[in-house]
Structure formats: C-alpha cells, structure tokens
Amino acid sequence: MLLRPRLDDHLVIGKYTGKVIIGIALLMVIPLLTSVVFAEWDTVLDFAISIALCLIFGFGTQIACRTERDLSWSHGLVVASGSWIVATILGAMPHWLSGHEGSYLDAMFDVMSGYTTTGLYLLQDLDHISYGMNMWRHLLTYAGGQGIVVIALTFLFKGTAGAYKVYVGEGKDERLLPNVVQTARAIWLVSLTWLVIGTVAMSITGLLLGQEPVRAFLHGLWVYMGAWSTGGFAPQSYNTLYYHALSYEIVAIVVMIAGSFNFALHWAVWTGKRKEILRNVETVSFAITLSLTVLIATFALAKAGVYPDAMTLFRKAFYQLASGHTTTGFSTIYSRAFVTQWGPVGLIATTVAMAIGASACSTAGGIKGMRIGIIFKAFMQDIRRVISPERAVVSSKFHHIKDVYLDDGLVRTTMTITIAYLAMYGLNAIVGAFYGYDFLQAAFEGVSAASNTGLSCGVTSPTMPDVMKVLYIGSMWLGRLEFMSVFALGGYIVTILRGHK
C-alpha cells in the first residue's frame, strides 16, 4: 500500500531544494561580475533579475519549510532529481532574457544541456553573445560536472548524514574519504588543480596561436571547462574546429579524457596507487572500447579516402571518437560531415562510443565502462560455469580500487541500468524517425542526448519539433542522474496523487 507523504516530508524536501537554488544564485554572481568587467550592462541586468528570482525562491522555501527533520534516503533522491528541474527552470532566465533563445523551452533545453554536461544547444548567434553569457554557459557545465549538489554540500549543508543521501541521488556514490563533505572537497581539489593546469595550458596555446591575452585566457578557461566537465560547450559556433591547431586538440584530448575518469580513480592515483590506472576495470574497459571504435572509424575513413594523409586522419578520427566516448561533444568537423563524409560505419562507431560513455562517478555520461566491464565478466563467468563440472564453484572478480567479487545482485543492478539506457536510446531514435529524420541520424542524436555527449549530426536545431526538445531534456536529465533518483521523484508524485493517508 502506498502511503501519502506527510507535511513534514514536503517541508524537508522544500528546504533542501531551496538550499540548492541558493547555490545557483551564488553561481550567477560570477557571470554577473564578468559582465560588469566588460561593461555589458544589459547582461548585468539579466543576471541581477535571475539572481533575485533564485534568492526569492531559495530563501522563501527556507522560511516556508522550517523543519528540524533530517533527510531520509527517499528524500535525498527526490531532492537530487527535483532540484535539477527547479534549477533548470530558474537557470534558464538569463538565457531567455538575453534574446538569443527562440523560446523559454529552448532556454531550458540549453540549461539542462549545461547542467547535465551534454553540450547540445539551441541558442542562436552564439558567436555574438556577451562574455557574461558565455561565462554562464560554461559555468553551468562545470558546475553540472561537479554535481550541483556537491557544490551545495561543500558550502551550504551543515552536517553530513542527510547530505550524503542527496550526494548519492546525484549519481556520485563513491566516498573518496570517510567523510562525505571531505569527499566533496577532494573532488573540488582534483577539479581545481586540473582547472589551473588546463586553463594555463590552453591559454598559452591560444597566445601562441595569436589570440589576444584576455581572449586567450577566457577561451582557455571556457574550453577547459567544456573539456573537463565532458560538457562540450565552446565559445564559438565552430566549436573547437575554430582553433585549427593540433596543439589545442592534444590539450583538449588530455583534459577531456582526464575529466572522464572516476573521481575515486583520480584520488587513488594521486595518493600513490599509480598502477591503479592500468588495472582498474573502467580504464581497461575504456582503453579497449575506445581503441576498437577508433580502429573501425579510422579504417572506414581511410578506405573511403576522406582525409588526404595519416596525420589528418588521426586528428579527425581520434578527436571525434575520444570526444564521443568521453561524452564530451567537442568536434573538429562540421556537424553534417558525420553524414556526408563519415558515412554509416563512422556514424555507427561514434554512436556506439557515445552509448558506452566513460566512468561512473565522473563528469561523463553513457552506460559507463564499469557496467560494460561487469557485464563482460558476468558473461565470461556464465560461459565458465557451463563448461565446468556441475559441482564446481565458479567465481569472478573485477578490480576497482580494490578487488570486488561479482554477485548476482550487482549483475542484476548493472543490467537494470544498462537496459534502461538502451531503452531510452531506442525511444529517442524511434521518436526522431517518427518525426521524419533518417533513423541512423535520429539514433546518433538520440544517443548523444541520452548519454550526455552533445555531438550533433544536424538534427538538434531551434526548428526541431517541441516534442523532441522535451524528450531530449528528459533524456539528458534521466541519463545524468542514472534513472534511480528520477524514478524516486516519480514515485513521490504518484504517492501524493494516489497514496493513502
């Protein structure tokens, strides 16, 4: 029997959702200050209005939802998924006020794409938006990669018992350190250290390519944010093709692959367990599937004679595949080139790479290398069981920080999430085909949205049907939060409507 939530349940959920929205308001101060520096007064006003709305909501809920009760597990899941929706609705305000969006739905699409580190966008005339707006776009994706809740955890939550439940709800369920707030801080340490290194490397590269110092710094910072968060936003409409430079591409590849690593792996390697990178199930799985998809695309492109020499072939094939597999979404080819030059084999190889994705507890999306590794191990275990004597005990293990033995519960959970991803990929492809898009292109774009990648073959545009925009918004959200917390929010709504007192 479903029990209807009590007033106290609503209060605790409202209170913590409000805290996350206050965090969003604080985040908006950075683009506001950027616009002040560059005297973009229209953008300053846009952000001032948006901050005011977030603060009214955030502090309004703190006043209206006074309670001493701490979060339960189900509350944590509901807050994690619900706060992303509220943050998207309120976070879309600066986009909409900028006048660069066709509708509020388009603005919400771009903001959800940012938070979920997807990188698809409907914003128009990207090359002429303000510095403040560009800062906001990249901050969205950087904050989303860190986890909005991780930000709130670090600065706004007191105590750790309830906070951990929201943290898990956001899909980051590994404790790097015994204390969850310290874990959040360790995640920040890794990200900020890479921020300094990545921004300096990209800024220097930009300077050497002839950019003005301020422009080189801002582009370096923004492209770093897009790469590290595996978000794929870039300040120019040509994305990273704009730079036309091998040096820029190599730095971007290093940052986006590093950004796709599990934070627990970073922490293990950073704290002395160097060999972990060669033993971990996620990095091994990633290296194998990336190499296989690159191999297929490289040979298909070479056979078709698309690129004149080995260096160009390497730069184009590896960059797009690394970007797709890490679910970043950076590209150095035009969107339509996936269709007109890469052909079906290249399109399928990239789709498979995006569908698999990178590591759990990272900024990346997709099914995740850990799940691919577990399914492969379970498959091999079953084969060994079939060919072994009837009484033989067949066990299997994988390595992730420590050796973990496979059990039926783990395999079942892994399969459930994997099937949910595959179903969502399939649904997006079918709906795209229903609206008249070529099935392969609809599958490519649908997988790109649901795996939070952001590579596009031209389907995503302001003129696409609103139903597909809503579907992609939902897919990005579900894919980023890995279903469970969204299902919990759905269950919460059902109990409000149909539960018994």
Partner 1 sequence: MKTRRFDERGLTDRKNWPNYLGGILTETGFILGLTALAFLMAVVAKAVF
**Cα–Cα distance, 454 to 357 (Å, whole number):** 12
**Cα–Cα distance, 453 to 479 (Å, whole number):** 10
> Which two structure tokens, joined as six digits, stand for 42?
């229209």
Q: What's the closest the beta carbon of residue 321 comes to partner 1, in angstroms?
A: 8
Q: What's the closest the beta carbon of residue 266 comes to partner 1, in angstroms?
A: 7
Number of C-beta neighbours around residue 495 at 10 A: 16
Per CB under 8 A, the list member of 74, 283, 328, 331 interacting with partner 1 is 283
Verify binding: residue 287, partner 1, rule CB under 8 A: yes
Verify binding: residue 111, partner 1, rule CB under 8 A: no
The answer to whether 439 and 464 have CB atoms below 8 angstroms apart is no
**Cα–Cα distance, 480 to 158 (Å, whole number):** 26
Verify binding: residue 214, partner 1, rule CB under 8 A: no
Q: What's the closest the beta carbon of residue 313 comes to partner 1, in angstroms?
A: 4
What is the distance, to the nearest Å, from the Cα of residue 48 to the centroid of all Cα atoms in its chain? 27
The number of C-alpha atoms within 13 Å of 420 and in the hemisphere containing its C-beta is: 20
Verify binding: residue 302, partner 1, rule CB under 8 A: yes
| Nearer to partner 1 among residue 305 and residue 436 (C-beta) | 305
Q: What is the DSSP letter of 500?
A: B
Verify binding: residue 301, partner 1, rule CB under 8 A: yes
Verify binding: residue 257, partner 1, rule CB under 8 A: yes
Verify binding: residue 401, partner 1, rule CB under 8 A: no
Q: What's the closest the beta carbon of residue 249 comes to partner 1, in angstroms?
A: 10
**Residues in contact with partner 1, total (CB under 8 A)?**
43
Query: Could you give the 3-state DSSP secondary structure of residue 334?
Result: coil
| Nearer to partner 1 among residue 299 and residue 376 (C-beta) | 299
Query: Could you give the 3-state DSSP secondary structure of residue 403?
Result: strand
Q: What's the closest the beta carbon of residue 197 comes to partner 1, in angstroms?
A: 7
Query: Could you give the 3-state DSSP secondary structure of residue 3?
Result: strand
Q: What's the closest the beta carbon of residue 273 comes to partner 1, in angstroms?
A: 8
| Nearer to partner 1 among residue 182 and residue 340 (C-beta) | 182
| Nearer to partner 1 among residue 74 and residue 320 (C-beta) | 320
Q: What's the closest the beta carbon of residue 311 comes to partner 1, in angstroms?
A: 7
**Cα–Cα distance, 295 to 374 (Å, whole number):** 23
| Nearer to partner 1 among residue 107 and residue 354 (C-beta) | 354
| Nearer to partner 1 among residue 33 and residue 197 (C-beta) | 197
Verify binding: residue 194, partner 1, rule CB under 8 A: yes
The per-residue DSSP string of 352-388 comes to HHHHH---TTSS--SS-HHHHHHHHHHHHHHHHHHHS
| Non-local CB neighbours of 65 within 8 Å, separated by 6+ positions | 10, 11, 12, 13, 14, 15, 18
In the region spanning residues 308 to 337, those forming contacts with partner 1, defined by CB under 8 A, are 309-311, 313-314, 317-318, 321-322
Verify binding: residue 66, partner 1, rule CB under 8 A: no
Q: Which stretch binds partner 1 (CB under 8 A): 123-131, 287-295, 437-445, 456-464?
A: 287-295
Q: Where are the beta strands (DSSP E) in 75-158?
A: none
Closest CA to 164 of 156, 177, 153: 153
Q: What's the closest the beta carbon of residue 184 comes to partner 1, in angstroms?
A: 11
Q: Which stretch binds partner 1 (CB under 8 A): 69-77, 265-273, 372-380, 460-468?
A: 265-273
Q: Which stretch binds partner 1 (CB under 8 A): 193-201, 229-237, 357-365, 382-390?
A: 193-201
Q: What's the closest the beta carbon of residue 342 comes to partner 1, in angstroms?
A: 14
Closest CA to 31 of 102, 103, 86, 111: 111
| Non-local CB neighbours of 136 within 8 Å, separated by 6+ positions | 28, 30, 31, 47, 94, 95
The answer to whether 483 and 118 have CB atoms below 8 angstroms apart is no
Verify binding: residue 266, partner 1, rule CB under 8 A: yes
Verify binding: residue 274, partner 1, rule CB under 8 A: yes
Dihedral Cα 417, 372, 264, 268, nearest 10 deg: 160
Verify binding: residue 492, partner 1, rule CB under 8 A: no
Footprint of partner 1 (CB under 8 A): 177, 182, 185-186, 189, 193-194, 197, 250, 253-254, 257-258, 261, 266, 269-272, 274, 277-278, 283, 287, 290-291, 294-295, 298-299, 301-303, 305, 309-311, 313-314, 317-318, 321-322
